Amino acid sequence: MREVIRRAGPFGLKLKRDRFQALVYSILAQQISGKAAAAIRKKLHDLAAPEGLTPSRISSLSLEELRSAGLSKQKSSYILDLSQRVHEGTLALERLARRSDDAVIESLIEVKGIGVWTAHMFLIFSLGRLDVLPHGDYGVRSAIQKLYGLEDLPDRETCHRIAEPWRPYASIASWYCWRSLEF
């Protein structure tokens, strides 16, 4: 990791402060290209105007309206589920920062379309948690495989074993893993 840190330079991470928007973006970007996600994101913003991408505005839209922005039926239902939970207060995003990582993950995976990977990304990029190892992330796994000379992509257990010396800064080490794939 020392060489990766030297080449990548100082750690820098800009947090996504709008937690609702970060989760909506995570859902809509699942299993599509970055370019397609950006196009859908723009259409969704246009659809939500002038109020903007808020839980109340999105929960007021129909499945068909969301689909008109380019979302699949399934992703539309996921975003509506998230919006309704936040709008009704059953998922209090502003209170998640006070909870443990495990409690945040537990709360988020109750939402349709949000799994452990999305919860890990939320912990790192929205809450700024420093000790999250996104063991299911393909980029982190690929970087570990490359950096540690593994024959196969590491499984969850192998990732955690290798990352043990990174604690309590596994998020920062993961960021460096992602950066290592750029060179």
75-90: pLDDT as tens digits = 999 999 999 999 999 9
Catalytic residue among 18, 137, 152, 155: 137
The alpha carbons of the chain give a radius of gyration, in whole angstroms, of 18
Domain with CATH 1.10.1670.40 in the chain: 133-180
Query: What CATH superfamily classification does 19-125 receive?
Result: Hypothetical protein; domain 2 (1.10.340.30)
In whole angstroms, give the CA distance from residue 120 to residue 73: 25
Percent of the chain beyond pLDDT 90? Answer: 95
Domain with CATH 1.10.340.30 in the chain: 19-125
pTM of the model: 0.90
137 catalytic per annotation: yes
Contacts of 44 (CB under 8 A, 6+ apart): 24, 28, 53, 66, 69, 71
Domain 133-180 has CATH 1.10.1670.40: yes
pLDDT computed for residue 89 by the predictor: 95
Cis before 154 (ω within 30) = no
